[in-house]
Structure 1
Amino acid sequence: MAWNEPGPNRDPWNQGPGGNKRGDGPPDLDEMLRRLKARLSGKGPRTPGGSSSGVPKALVGLVVALVAGLWLSTGFYVVDEQERGVVMRFGAYARTTDPGWGWHAPWPAEKVEIVNVTQVRQANDRATMLTKDENIVDVELTVQYRVSSAEQYLFSVADPDMTLRQATKSAVRETVGRSEMDFIITEGRQAVADRTKQLLQDRLDMYKCGLIVTEVNLQQAQPPEAVQSAFADAIKAREDQQRVKNEAEAYANDRLPRARGAAARQLEEASAYRDQVVARAEGDASRFSQLVAEYRKAPKVTRDRLYLDTMTQVLSQSSKVLIDVKQGNPMFYLPLDQLLKNSPKADEYDFSNSSGSGANRAAPNPQDSGRTRDRGRQ
């Protein structure tokens, strides 16, 4: 029955035994609840339409279907390419879905958690630590990581990111504690970062955090501020030592090949000189043996031939012209200018004045001529 229908006693608040029939007072709340309960249970007064509440059954079914459809539609979700969907059934892990459209049973049966598995996250750590040689060093490093397993990331530990930060502190302290300070602040920076990355990943795998470390960068490693100047001087001295060592090695690399080349050249020259001397000695010995054989056959001819050859060899390099005055006419004209042109010392004489005898030009000193004559007679 509709309360706003025309007619007497149509007010639902003023009907019933305990109702206010005059409508001048507040409605009875208990009566109203009883009537509402009766209508919902189908025991209330029926109307000609066949519904106890005055609403058609078809309309009720439509409303129920619409509400059910809206409830079921809340189970649809979309997972992006860089994400993964983790479906939980009554709070427990059910399945992991790949990128794309998905559906799960609506709340409260199931719900989905979207986890980004490609985003590179970052954690920074800075602390003062004790090294193996009992020195103190300030270390600052950055850890880059991402999610490797969405299931482990959500269900293995309560706070995976905080667990990674704590594991980073433990790993870097262990690495620094096993290294000396000079190694950490000089050439060992990359080795410290690599060792820290390995230890950190081993701990994360043991805890099943679902995280993978992509990079560990050692941003800073230096001694405390109070002793930084002393360490700076020590580092500068070490760098100077390395520079001088490199220069010495460069000089040695330049000089040693030259020395080796010069030594090899001298050895080759000595070997060539040895072969030349030996060959010449062997040739002289062979020639002497042949001369001995010829001398035994004709001693006088051989002596004359040797004398003539020797004199030819000796006098061919001289600028003197020998004339046998006793056996010939000393005024006999000779083409001394043509003879001396073929001499090695022809540039010592001037042939511009061709007057006079050739004997006077060739032997201007009588003593030389006399000695030459005596030597010729001998």
Structure 2
Amino acid sequence: MAWNEPGGNNNDPWKNRGGRDQGPPDLDEVFKKFFDKLGFGGGKKPSGKGFGGIGAGLIAGILVVIWFISGFYTVKEAERGVVLRFGEFSHFVEPGLRWKPTFVDSVETVNVRSIRTMPSSGFMLTEDENVVRVDMEIQYRVIEPFKYTFAVDDPDGSLRHALDSAIRYVVGHSRMDDVLTRGREQTRQRVFEELTGIVTPYDMGIDVLEVNFKDARPPEEVKASFDDAIAAQEDEQRFIREAEAYAREIEPTARGRVNRMGQEAEAYKQQVILKARGEVARFEELLPQYAAAPQVTRQRLYLEALEEIYSKTSKVMVDTDGTGNMMYLPLDKILERQGVSGGLPLVPSNALEGVRGTTQSNQSGNSSQNSGRTSSRFSDGRN
């Protein structure tokens, strides 16, 4: 049965066995008695004379242990520690478990291995008074922890202001087409050089590794027109590349034709020279024969010339005796009309005999005339 249930149970734990109601214990009284025992109270000291000194030493030892334990700290692998003794730089610490006297030294840890990024963007005015939005990003890392911590008040903020200044300076001295299209790489390189020139005098202990050109675009209100202009510029570059490719393709062909024409001209030259030399050699061989028998030689030359001429034509001219008329036999038309491919036309034999006799008489008369002309020509040449 519980002590406070009805029925006359008097097992109240706060009452002594004599029946006196003493209530719950007073906490103030408990703590007062405890501190009196340790020697810190203002009341009557305990009978042991050395107990107060032992308590103070125990507390002091505990505090020393706590102070010593609180001095342990860890520097991570990618970090370096800058130790300050009473606020003044003392030394650097390498990664690992370290100890420092608390309240005397303080440690600032700086990550020197990670690559940090910092973006920057905004609307900017170009040299030709156009507005573009440029987005860039830099990558950097800390190389000197002490300078990064104490050279400037806010190194990241200072670097951000320097980046904004470099971008605006370069864009302000560039044309819009260069920033948006073909000059992006030059713009990025110029921003990198300008940023390096701004940051170097501050000696902030950082190294700018790279500047990335993320985006450059015109305002949304005129974006459609700028897209058309950029497309036209891209078409221009494409046409230029196609023209250059066509030039590279057609140039070897033209050079080959030039070489072939040169070789043909050289071959024709050699042919004409050799033919002329052959004619000269033939004339030199014919000259002694002509000197020995001029009449016979002229007649043979005449007959060979007529044979060569008449062998290349299909027309025959016949001069009939005593009439003064010229008869023309179109052998080519006769062959076409009769459908004969090769061979002689079907004409009477007496007609052919008349043609042959007439031709021979004409050839004899013409040969005598030509012989006279040839004789006079060779005689003139010999004289």
Bucket of the pairwise TM-score, normalised by the shorter protein: 0.5 to 0.7
Q: TM-score, normalised by structure 2?
A: 0.64
The residue number in structure 1 matching 2:50 is: 52
Question: Structure 1 residues 118-127 or 179-188, which shifts more?
Answer: 118-127
Gap change, CA 1:363 and 1:69, over 3 Å in 2 = farther
- Deviation, 1:38, is 11
Shift of 1:151: 0.9
For 2:118, give the aligned amino acid.
Answer: A
Aligned with 2:94 (options 91, 98, 102): 98
User: Does the CA-based 8 Å contact 2:84-2:90 persist in structure 1?
Assistant: yes
Q: Is the 8 A contact 2:39 2:52 kept in 1?
A: no
Displacement after TM superposition at 1:164 (Å):
1.5
How many equivalent residue pairs?
A: 303
Q: Which structure 2 residues correspond to residues 220-235 of structure 1 after superposition, within 5 A?
A: 220-235=215-230
Separation of aligned partners in 2, 1:81 and 1:197? 30
Q: Determine the C-alpha separation between the residues in 2 that align with 1:169 and 1:369.
A: 111
Instruction: Report how far residue 127 of structure 1 moved.
Output: 1.4
Cα distance between partner residues in 2 of 1:281 and 1:201: 81
1:85 aligns with 81
Counterpart in the other structure of 1:303: 297
Residue 124 to residue 307, structure 1, CA distance change in 2 (3 Å)? closer
Q: Aligned residue for 1:36?
A: 39
What is the CA distance between 1:176 and its match in structure 2?
A: 1.0
| 1:12 match | none
Query: What CA RMSD, in Å, does the superposition of the two structures yield over aligned residues?
Result: 4.3
- Which ranges in structure 2 are unaligned for 5 or more consecutive residues? 1-27, 313-340, 368-383
SS in 2 for 1:209: coil
Deviations 1:266-304 (A, max 9, x none): 2221121111111111121122123213443x3279739
CA spacing shift, 1:85–1:54, aligned 2, 3 Å = closer
Q: Deviations over 1:82-130 (max 9, x none)?
A: 221211111222122233x353431111122221112222222221111
Q: Quote how far apart the aligned CAs of 1:236 are.
A: 2.4
Q: Deviations over 1:141-193 (max 9, x none)?
A: 22222222111111112221111111111111111111111211111222222
Aligned partner of 2:149: which letter? Answer: L
Native 8 Å contact 2:82 2:108 kept in 1: yes
1:61-72 alignment runs, 5 A limit: 68=64, 71-72=67-68
Alpha-carbon deviation of 1:139?
A: 1.6
Name the aligned partner's letter for residue 94 of structure 2: D
Contact 2:86 2:105 in 1 (8 A): yes
What secondary structure sits across from 1:127 in the alignment?
A: strand
Q: 1:17-73, CA deviations, whole angstroms, 9 ceiling, x for partnerless residues?
A: xxxxxxxx979x9xx88x93799xxxx9995xxx7227779x959x86776465445
Which residue of 2 is the match for residue 339 of structure 1? none
The AA in structure 2 aligned to 1:82 is: A
| Paired AA for residue 271 in structure 1 | E
- Structure 1 position 305, deviation (Å): 11
| Contact kept in structure 2, 1:87 and 1:104, CA below 8 Å | no
From the superposition, tell whether residues 287 and 171 of structure 1 become closer, same or farther in structure 2 (CA, over 3 Å): same
**Kept after mapping to 2: 8 A contact 1:46/1:52:** no
Measure how far apart 1:137 and its partner are. 1.6
Secondary structure in structure 2 of the residue aligned to 1:266: helix
Secondary structure in 2 aligned to 1:303? helix
Is structure 2 residue 153 aligned with structure 1 residue 184?
no
Identity score, percent: 35
Alignment of 1:165-314 (within 5 A): 165-296=160-291, 298-299=292-293, 303=297, 310=304
Q: CA deviation at 1:225?
A: 2.1
Q: Normalization by structure 1: what TM-score?
A: 0.65
3-state secondary structure, aligned to 2:246: helix
Q: Structure 2 CA distance, aligned partners of 1:275 and 1:128?
A: 76
Alpha-carbon offset, residue 81 of structure 1: 2.7
Q: Are residues 77 and 364 of structure 1, via their aligned partners in 2, closer, same or farther at CA, if it must alter by over 3 Å? A: farther
Measure the CA separation in 1 of the matches of 2:29 and 2:167: 76
Unaligned 5+ runs, structure 1: 1-24, 319-346, 351-361
- Is the Cα contact below 8 Å between 2:118 and 2:137 reproduced in 1? yes
- Any conservation in 2 of the 1:204–1:210 contact (CA below 8 Å)? no
Query: Partner amino acid for 1:98?
Result: E
Deviates more, 1:226-235 or 1:160-169: 226-235
Partner of 2:377: none
